[in-house]
């Protein structure tokens, strides 16, 4: 699989390392431009390349967006058309500024990203687990119920299946929280599953309770 990764911070760089480790090609982009990514690209080796945001988006069969929520409007929406986009963002008012409809819980940050990238298919994932755990806690030798859970939400079963397969490759257990609206809300900061290290079995039990 070819992954485009928008954002080279803690989550974006971690996903890139995990993807390269299991044999995928990645194209990374950030706001500072391709030259700023040279050290990370050297670390990742030949499966990785740097590009513009447009280039990384068009490169990926699956595109991970891991940038501050407050700058999502700068994403060039046409470049994401037809792609499965994984939304790894969280809304933090202290960082992103206040967004009235989010403060009033009228919608979710992932629905706003889906509206902006209207030609793409969105799946919410990689936003609940601390990046250090994401980097080190995957274990493909364990049964799914015993692996740490990575939650995902979305409205398209095929897209969620693709993201779920990637989660399993990374050594985690995919746990579906439901639709982009309801499931995305369950994954927001402050929820019962946010920033919790739960096994697949524990996660499903918690969601079912």
Whether residue 110 contacts residue 122, with contact meaning beta carbons closer than 8 Å, is answered with yes
For residue 63, give both structure tokens.
């595109």
E strands, the chain, in order: 2-6, 25-29, 48-50, 62-65, 84-87, 121-124, 149-154, 173-178
Query: Does 209 score more than 90 pLDDT?
Result: no
With 0-12 / 13-18 / 19 or more C-beta atoms within 10 angstroms meaning exposed / middle / buried, residue 198 is buried
Alpha-carbon dihedral angle through residues 79, 188, 20, 203, given to the nearest 10 degrees: -140
Whether residue 69 contacts residue 108, with contact meaning beta carbons closer than 8 Å, is answered with no
Query: Does 61 score more than 90 pLDDT?
Result: yes
Q: What percent of the chain has pLDDT over 70?
A: 100
The region of weakest confidence among 51-55, 117-121, 178-182, 205-209 is 205-209
pTM of the full structure: 0.95
2-208 topology per CATH = Rossmann fold (3.40.50)
Domain map of the chain by residue range?
2-208
pLDDT band at 147 (very low <50, low <70, confident <90, very high): very high
Sequence-distant (≥ 6) Cβ neighbours of residue 139 within 8 angstroms: 147, 171
Which residue's structure tokens are 């364990």? 142
The alpha carbon of 141 is separated from its chain's Cα centroid by a whole number of angstroms, namely: 23
3-state secondary structure of 78: helix
Whether residue 151 contacts residue 128, with contact meaning beta carbons closer than 8 Å, is answered with yes
> Residues for the chain: how many in total?
209
Task: State residue 133's pLDDT score.
Answer: 97
Sequence-distant (≥ 6) Cβ neighbours of residue 151 within 8 angstroms: 124, 125, 128, 175, 176, 177, 183, 186, 187, 193, 203
Which residue's structure tokens are 């755990």? 133
């Amino acid at each position: 699989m070819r992954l485009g990764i928008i954002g080279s911070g803690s989550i974006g760089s971690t996903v890139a390392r995990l993807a390269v480790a299991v044999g995928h090609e990645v194209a990374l982009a950030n706001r500072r431009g391709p030259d700023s990514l040279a050290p990370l690209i050297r670390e990742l080796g030949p499966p990785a390349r740097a590009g513009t945001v447009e280039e990384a988006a068009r490169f990926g069969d699956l595109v991970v967006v891991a940038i501050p929520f407050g700058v999502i409007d700068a994403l060039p929406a046409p470049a994401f058309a037809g792609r499965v986009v994984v939304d790894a963002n969280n809304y933090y008012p202290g960082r992103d500024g206040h967004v009235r409809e989010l403060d009033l819980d009228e919608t979710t940050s992932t629905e706003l990203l889906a509206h902006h990238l209207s030609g793409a298919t969105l799946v919410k994932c990689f936003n609940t687990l601390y990046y250090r755990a994401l980097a080190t806690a995957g274990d493909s030798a364990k049964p799914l119920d015993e692996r740490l859970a990575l939650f995902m939400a979305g409205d398209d079963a095929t897209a969620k299946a693709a993201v779920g397969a990637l989660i399993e490759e990374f050594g985690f257990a995919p746990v579906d929280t439901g639709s982009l609206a309801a499931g995305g809300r369950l994954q927001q900061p402050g929820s019962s599953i946010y920033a919790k290290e739960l096994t697949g079995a524990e996660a499903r039990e918690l969601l079912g309770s």
